[in-house]
Amino acid sequence: MLSKSIEKALNDQIRIEAESSQIYLAMACWAEVKGLEGVAGFMYQQSDEERDHMLKLVKFVNERGGHAQISQLKAPNVTFNSFKEMFEKLFDHEVFVSESINKLVHISLEERDYATHNFLQWYVSEQIEEEAVARTILDKINLIGNDKGGLYLFDRDIVNLTVSSASMGRAE
């Protein structure tokens, strides 16, 4: 059974994951209309993943005797000055999500809710990978600079992006 404070914290995370899905979806739309089909495809896929993360939380809350709440979402930014700025915002957002997950883990330990703590370990690992992917993308963008040919190749190759995660010891 979930305590009320853990149920509230998990419901807050459900909203964050839903907003993350919307943020990626807005980025996909922006990239698509700018002709960055590879980036758009990557963002659509990330949007789906974030929605899956939300649903996993929803099911967990409901299965543990809580009631998952679907709340109003903050509208995402829909325009960017550059694709570099877009990926910088994405990285900042992933750092924010990691901090939120860490707070949840802390609450679960404080309340000795080891089932929730165990469940959240998947999110901890996932966030390590999400941040690593965003950092790798920013590194590649910085290498490209203002080279249009580099941007073309980046857009084509982002679909095949893999990052070897130190925590998992495998490529994703």
On whether 50 is known to bind a ligand per the annotation, the reply is yes
Beta bridge partner(s), residue 165: 170
Dump pLDDT digits (tens) for 98-151: 999 999 999 999 999 999 999 999 999 999 999 999 999 999 999 998 888 888
Dump pLDDT digits (tens) for 4-18: 999 999 999 999 999
pTM greater than 0.85 (yes/no): yes
Residue 164 in 3-state DSSP? strand
Q: 1: which 2 tokens?
A: 């059974």
- The confidence band for 169, taking pLDDT boundaries of 50, 70 and 90, is very low
On whether 22 is known to bind a ligand per the annotation, the reply is no
pLDDT value at residue 118:
98
pLDDT value at residue 34:
94
Cα 103 → chain centroid: 16
| Among 20, 26, 38, CA closest to 86 | 26
**Under CATH, domain 4-171 is a member of which superfamily?**
Ferritin, core subunit, four-helix bundle (1.20.1260.10)
Q: What is the DSSP string of 74-135?
A: PPPP---S-HHHHHHHHHHHHHHHHHHHHHHHHHHHHTT-HHHHHHHHHHHHHHHHHHHHHH
pLDDT value at residue 150:
86
Q: 4: which 2 tokens?
A: 């009320």
Is pLDDT above 80 for 166?
no
Dump pLDDT digits (tens) for 39-97: 999 999 999 999 999 999 999 999 999 999 999 999 999 999 998 999 999 999 999 99
Q: 104-107: list long-range contacts, CB under 8 Å, 24+ apart.
A: 104/9, 104/10, 104/13, 107/5, 107/6, 107/9
Residue 104 to residue 145: CA distance in whole angstroms: 38
On whether 7 is known to bind a ligand per the annotation, the reply is no
On whether 126 is known to bind a ligand per the annotation, the reply is no
On whether 127 is known to bind a ligand per the annotation, the reply is yes
